[in-house]
Structure 1
Amino acid sequence: MENQTSTHAIRPFSINIPEEELVELRRRILATRWPEKETVADQSQGVQQATIQELARYWATEYDWRKCEAKLNALPQFITEIDGLDIHFIHVRSKHENALPLIVTHGWPGSVVEQLKIIDPLTNPTAHGGSAADAFHLVIPSMPGYGFSAKPTAPGWSPKHIASAWIELMKRLGYTQFLAQGGDWGAIITELMAVQAPPELLGIHTNMAGVFPPEIATMFDVFQPRNAPASLSEEERRAFEQMDYFYKHVGYAVMMGTRPQTLTGLADSPIGLAAFMIDHDTRSYELIARAFSGHPGGLTRDDVLDNITLFWLTNTAVSAARLYRENTSGFFDVKNISIPVAVSVFPDELYQAPRSWAEQAFPKLIHYNRLNKGGHFAAWEQPKLLSEEVRTAFRSLR
């Protein structure tokens, strides 16, 4: 790293949660006041009582935060101030020559925990069936108000602002060329970096591509059903129907986008926080529920609780929610990107971006692939597949 002024200093960071906070967390879990069981036999009313009670039992009696803390502390972590706010980030440099710098951004309800499984495959590809020529230096920041980054005390930290901060972060680290990747909010921030198109940014990769044409994107409204235009192809119609379903089940985003401060209960009740976080989308909830019923696939109980516990210990439920209030960009619409873009489409994502729309949205589409496994939290759930996608996607830019 180059020499920094005191304002731009990059400070080492490590985590050491006081034991009394972990004792208090377990006490609060055990003191949960439970509602009655749902009145239906499926998940249509939300998080099922059997799932959340098993999560609570495991969290209070078996889960060990110190394992996650040790895993994070084994990585190089730093803090730097950007635009008056302390930003936490993991920075792992590859041992391979000519590795390309890559900034990877998490989403909600996520954290840097989402990306831990892709660090070694991307920085050390030869240990994972890859080539040294596919290596990356990784920068994995915590978004403002998330994890160990500071919480904004005034409005203004929108996704567009975060995108600008990430560009500043990469340049501050001395990188004169770099790439960007993300899913969920990370996809939106990554695309907004591409909209800004700094000369240092060679290209981006997204696993939740914003491709809905304007005439389609404007049709969606929260909780209101819409009929797909007759002119759509079968693939486009399927994406339309998936988005229509999502907008009928997006209550959590509406609440965070309009009244985030009302979610005080998430800062007071660990089980309230956990239930709110695991009910992101149907497929992800099913995956998490299986982990707590003894049939894990992609995510373990510890994976899920590492992330929730990080939110709890940093008290970031409400500060993270405010990002929805700050947002003025369409979540899934076209953003006028002219630099190279790579798209990976996972079958259990909120929607499968059609190739036709991806080609329209991204004039320099350098990679498009539909995977046969994986969902919304691709880096977390299918790290091998996502790592392979990222390596393949960016080869042409080396």
Structure 2
Amino acid sequence: MTSPIEEVQPFEAHATDADLDELHARLSAARLPERETVYGAPAGPRRWDQGVPLADLVDVVNYWRTGYDWRSFEARLNQLGQFRTAIDGLGIHFLHRRSTRADATPLIMTHGWPGSITEFVDVADELANPADADATAFHVVIPSLPGFGYSDKPASTGWGTERIAAAWVELMGRLGYEKFLAQGGDWGGNITTVLAGRFPQRVLGIHTTFAEGPPGLTTDGLTAEERRWAEETHDFWHHRAAYAKQQATRPQTIGYSLVDSPVGLLAWILDKFAEWSDSQDSPFERISRDRILDDVTLYWLTRTGASAARIYYESHNSLDPDLRVDVPAAITMYPKDIEKYPRPWAEQRFRRIVRWSEPDAGGHFPSLEVPDFFVHDVREGLAAVLATQE
């Protein structure tokens, strides 16, 4: 009889030369619109009022075509350790970086959209095998969400955050991790919340940058800063979230452009890296062009622009309002993130907050924007979680 561990198969990424040649040909033949009518605006966020500025996009497209090296990132993925396994009828891809430390704790890290496993490739090694021998170490598991990257694309509806969380529990058990920590932001934060709320017997505790409180909470009693957070989050969802409404209602329609046009895919994703990162004039102030193109190229080569968008169709606004998290939680609110919930609101869902952090810098992609601080923060937060187990 096949044991669970034998169901996990090693995996290596190898794009064909033909796929890369086709990408370069499509980039060379791209049809671009005229420049935005806010052209000439001074350096700063206003340049992006109509979306990605033409000059910025042309620069990135030219670099993608002539300077970017996918093979380097592909080799990095293979070096980290990639695997696939079938869970609930769907092939799930994941990175698995085991620590050399005997005292390491299993940790599953879940990405969001428009991110991918690329969000964690630069931090996995240090979390698994920290340079400081006294620092907390983890066996790091980084799955690709269903429909993202090298995971399979669901062929029917039903793969929402609740089902994904259950699949993650199965994945960790299959790796021999009966109890584990969880970390995530964006959709990964949502799934981490579901993991902690639904499977407290398996989840030791969590670290999240997404701490949505139950709906309908009042601003009465909040500080001026907390009110500002609430107002900014409200403004985001009412005035800057057209992408989410599109993907939640018509993912197939936008999917044709995302799968057929590399420039369209790049613009759709780059717009979010620009608007959601802690930067003034360009996301490249915080994140390298190579790392953003690693992310976009992964979407392109796996043809997952449409299938990834469907997570919004499956789970937009679906977090159970009655779900409560009683396992210990470390929560970090980065200053330029798109959703920041005041602690009094977060406390209505997360009942055992053991560490609350408000850094001075960073946005929606902290593992890419401020990777050194991100590692420190995750490690300290989860160390506080583990201290409750002693």
Corresponding position of 2:44 = none
Whether 1:105 aligns to 2:103 is: no
Instruction: Decide whether the 8 Å contact of 1:78 with 1:89 is kept in 2.
Output: yes
C-alpha separation in 2, matches of 1:357 and 1:283: 25
Name the amino acid aligned to 1:65.
Answer: W
**1:42-81 equivalence runs, <5 A:** 42-81=47-86
C-alpha separation in 2, matches of 1:358 and 1:114: 25
Query: What's the % identity of the aligned pairs?
Result: 44
Note closer, same or farther for the CA distance 1:250–1:88 as it changes in structure 2 (3 Å cut): same
Please report how far the alpha carbon of residue 113 of structure 1 lies from its aligned counterpart in structure 2 after TM superposition: 0.6
**1:79-158 equivalence runs, <5 A:** 79-125=84-130, 127=131, 130-158=132-160
Match of 2:246 among 232, 255, 260: 255
Name the amino acid aligned to 1:252.
Answer: Y
Corresponding position of 1:314 = 302
Stretches of structure 2 lacking an aligned partner (at least 5 in a row): 42-46
Please report how far the alpha carbon of residue 288 of structure 1 lies from its aligned counterpart in structure 2 after TM superposition: 9.7
Normalising by structure 1, what TM-score? Answer: 0.90
Instruction: Decide whether the 8 Å contact of 1:12 with 1:77 is kept in 2.
Output: yes
Please report how far the alpha carbon of residue 179 of structure 1 lies from its aligned counterpart in structure 2 after TM superposition: 0.4
Which string of whole-angstrom CA distances, capped at 9 and with x for unpartnered residues, describes residues 35-67 of structure 1? Answer: 111111321111111111111111111111111
Normalising by structure 2, what TM-score? Answer: 0.91
4+ long deviations beyond 6 Å: 331-334
Match of 1:33 among 31, 49, 61: 31
**1:294-313 equivalence runs, <5 A:** 296-313=284-301
Q: Does the residue aligned with 1:239 lie in a helix, a strand or coil?
A: helix
C-alpha separation in 1, matches of 2:320 and 2:111: 16
Whether 1:267 aligns to 2:282 is: no
Name the amino acid aligned to 1:94.
Answer: S
Please report how far the alpha carbon of residue 230 of structure 1 lies from its aligned counterpart in structure 2 after TM superposition: 6.0
Instruction: Decide whether the 8 Å contact of 1:81 with 1:87 is kept in 2.
Output: yes
Instruction: Decide whether the 8 Å contact of 2:150 with 2:302 is kept in 1.
Output: yes
Please report how far the alpha carbon of residue 285 of structure 1 lies from its aligned counterpart in structure 2 after TM superposition: 6.0
Stretches of structure 1 lacking an aligned partner (at least 5 in a row): 217-227
Name the amino acid aligned to 2:17.
Answer: E
Corresponding position of 2:233 = 243
**1:212-251 equivalence runs, <5 A:** 213-216=214-217, 232-247=222-237, 248-251=239-242
Corresponding position of 2:199 = 197
Count of residues paired in the alignment: 377
C-alpha separation in 2, matches of 1:306 and 1:142: 14
Please report how far the alpha carbon of residue 282 of structure 1 lies from its aligned counterpart in structure 2 after TM superposition: 5.5
Which string of whole-angstrom CA distances, capped at 9 and with x for unpartnered residues, describes residues 60-86 of structure 1? Answer: 111111111011111111000000000
Instruction: Decide whether the 8 Å contact of 1:279 with 1:285 is kept in 2.
Output: no
Which string of whole-angstrom CA distances, capped at 9 and with x for unpartnered residues, describes residues 225-261 of structure 1? Answer: xxx9565431321112111221111011110000000
Corresponding position of 1:14 = 12
C-alpha separation in 2, matches of 1:109 and 1:204: 22
Note closer, same or farther for the CA distance 1:137–1:24 as it changes in structure 2 (3 Å cut): same
C-alpha separation in 2, matches of 1:92 and 1:273: 30
For the aligned residue pairs, the C-alpha RMSD in angstroms reads 2.1
Corresponding position of 2:361 = 373
C-alpha separation in 1, matches of 2:320 and 2:235: 14
Note closer, same or farther for the CA distance 1:358–1:114 as it changes in structure 2 (3 Å cut): same
Instruction: Decide whether the 8 Å contact of 2:336 with 2:364 is kept in 1.
Output: yes
Please report how far the alpha carbon of residue 363 of structure 1 lies from its aligned counterpart in structure 2 after TM superposition: 1.4
